[in-house]
Amino acid sequence: MKTRVFVCFCALFVVISARAEKIALVNGTLINPMTEVVLPGAHVLIDNDRVVGFGDEITFDLPKDARRIDCKGKFILPGYIDTHIHFFQSGDLFTRPDAADLTSVRPYKDEVAWVKSHVNDVFARYLRCGITSVVDVGGPFWNFEVRKTANSTAKAPRVAVAGPLISSVSREKLDLGDPPIVKIDGPDQAREFVRKLAEQKPDLVKIWYIVDKDHPVDAFRPTVRATVEESHARKIRVAVHATELETARAAVEQGADILVHSVVDKPVDDAFVKLLKDRHIILCPTLVVFERYGRTFSHQLNLTPEEKAWGNPEVIASLDVTKIPQDKLPDRIKTALAKPDEALDRIKKTYEVALPNLKRLEDAGVTIAAGTDAGNIGTIHGPALFREFQLMKEAGLTNMQILQSTTVNAAKLFGGDTGAHIGKIDNGYFADLVILKSNPADDIANASDIDTVIKNGVVYPADSILR
């Protein structure tokens, strides 16, 4: 009987705290990257799932009935947004058999089963990192199920998704019946595929614009154009994977809204910068992913303390290629292991182009949204974002520009009604916040010094999230 009464009280408390609690964050330093405002002695009032007021003690009266959380010495920011992840990939060594075929060690169907059974784990790791929204930029049709699950799970980020990638090349090794990448032959097929995608209400349509000697830039242009026209007719934006200058230029000329990854083959030119500005393109650089395949394969992985602490331990353990029997290693890994310096040199050369390109686009006023490409081999769901911040800093972005890229700018990439209510601390915006113990405007490394995460008005002490 006693137990039953206790249970009833608990249930009542949960209902009250979920539906009616006002929370006041008191005496923190509020940082709103959008306006570059840094306001000491600030209060933020949360009612239910929304921010309903903020200001300092002079301009803002806190209601008496609010539960107070003392934020003295702490820093209150909008929750971070990673605008480029893939739920269908775990980040482990076996997640891209098209890049490194280790299916004789772990069959791809086992990998996919593991991924599907760890979706909630991935959600929690994002929250632990203060990441309260993510954009999945392409995966199988079951991506739409992941979005649905996230939307009905408290301890999960908000999720926007694209469906399968519309691609210039095929990737049979990833096809178990619901492939993440679909080769599209020509404009008619593209239109048909977009119509099929549209039934699932994707937040984005994604094009995988892969160019090589058998797939020249111009051959795929009509497919890109048709995809854009069909998507725009349904008010869906199009994101394009394009890593060469001419591919990225062609994508934008054909009407793309978002460019994902950096241009890594040559410096961007004035005409390209102007094109991106004129068309209001959002660019997501995904710097971290460019080092992680090469570093993993050459056994030179440089995981950060955040990744080691908050990444999935099974994923991280898998990344040691020296544990794989020699006779099962694909040539790509054998070569990288034999010549690690060459692997590292290739990464260095990529950054020698990508980092100045990012700085140039940022200086020109192009909207830069932070994203990691997490889920790819060695790029860890959640904390990879903090390595992305380091690389953006190396590129010469200011701490505030980096914070803007992961909040206000990222919200624009997220898009829709949700995108219009995240990335900023303001009245009517979702109460998705991160509270830090040190100031990220002084040093971006402090962005991971997380005390508390608030998602949809629910408060999580950061240390409790992965327990």
Q: CA nearest 119: which of 152, 165, 84? A: 152
Closest distance of CB 241 from Zn ion, Å: 7
Find the radius of gyration of the CA atoms of the chain.
Answer: 22
Which residues of this chain interact with Zn ion, rule CB under 5 A? 373
Sort strands 80-85 and 181-183 into parallel, antiparallel or unpaired: unpaired
Between CA 142 and CA 87 the distance in angstroms is: 10
Nearer to Zn ion, 22 or 206 (CB): 206
Query: CB nearest Zn ion: which residue?
Result: 373
Closest distance of CB 373 from Zn ion, Å: 4
Q: Are 129 and 450 in contact (CB under 8 A)?
A: yes
Nearer to Zn ion, 415 or 457 (CB): 415
Nearer to Zn ion, 44 or 369 (CB): 369
Nearer to Zn ion, 101 or 373 (CB): 373
Between CA 79 and CA 156 the distance in angstroms is: 12
| Inter-CA distances, 268 with 176, 215, 281, 359, Å | 38, 22, 15, 11
Angle at 124 between CA 289 and CA 461, to 5 degrees: 120
DSSP letter string, 143-204:
HHHHHHHHHT-SSS-EEEEB-SEEESS--GGG-SSS-SEEE--SHHHHHHHHHHHHTT--SE
Nearer to Zn ion, 307 or 373 (CB): 373
Closest distance of CB 290 from Zn ion, Å: 12
Nearer to Zn ion, 86 or 191 (CB): 86
Closest distance of CB 23 from Zn ion, Å: 36
Between CA 391 and CA 221 the distance in angstroms is: 32
Nearer to Zn ion, 46 or 115 (CB): 115
Closest distance of CB 243 from Zn ion, Å: 11
Closest distance of CB 113 from Zn ion, Å: 22
Closest distance of CB 86 from Zn ion, Å: 6
Between CA 241 and CA 165 the distance in angstroms is: 10
